[in-house]
Amino acid sequence: MKIASIQLTIQDEESKEARVDRAMNLISGCTGADLVLLPEIWNTGYFGFDRYHDEAEPLDGPTVSAAAARARELGAWVHMGSFVERRPDGSFTNTSVLLDRDGKPAATYRKIHLFGFGSDETKVLTPGTEVVTAATDFGRVGLATCYDLRFPELFRRMVDQGAEFFLVCSAWPYPRLEHWMMLNRVRALENEAFLISSNCVGVTRGKQFCGHSQMVDPWGTPVAAAGDEEAVVRAEIDPGLVGRVRDIFPPLRDRVLKS
């Protein structure tokens, strides 16, 4: 299967509408891909906390609808990254949506681990509570967002639900690049799963995103990666590798302490 991870530039001077149009054009350029990913809160910009509530959307709002149209256009699965969702109960969440090849929502994940270190995310958003996996035509995927990478129990819960792929949208900043690089590989390695990430680049509110979106195989080996500029990372992978690795090397079967 062919994968494309869009590492999108976020800049304060660009409007939300212009950024959505630009991202949709990048998706349209991913002809032939079976799966396309976008980063975290890319339409508003992660550090624009003062705009979160004003720019929030419902699940059937313009950003998800635009991504759904591109999924239908390409005939591809599209992980449209995340956005600030305005929920019917009046709360706001960091919500990601996986769209199937017909543009229909296959999974909706609300970020469980909100980031409070030098961030107002915990002040303006409500954390999610559900671990989310979904069946696709290439295997079961688990959804995670940025700070979630630091919590191995979440990924093990997804494996227990049958996940073979982790799809991670992110707005990970410098100076913690080495943490990002290691955690992408470790979460794949310890769970013998593919991990595919899409991170932001650019500078907003004085914070620089570190990029380095990756595709890591079940041995923990990166098969494709970007630097710290806007890019579309592409790779062709064999979904059957997950099963073969788990058969060859048995740590998941040898677990003693289970969730």
Which residues are identified as catalytic? 40, 111, 146
8 A C-beta contact, residue 144 and residue 166: yes
The C-alpha atoms of residue 194 and residue 197 are separated, in whole angstroms, by 10
8 A C-beta contact, residue 136 and residue 77: yes
| Closest CA relative to residue 143, chosen from 151, 152, 135, 134 | 134
Rg (CA), the chain: 17
Phi, psi of 226 (to 5 degrees): -110, 175
**For residue 72, how far is the Cα from the chain centroid?**
20
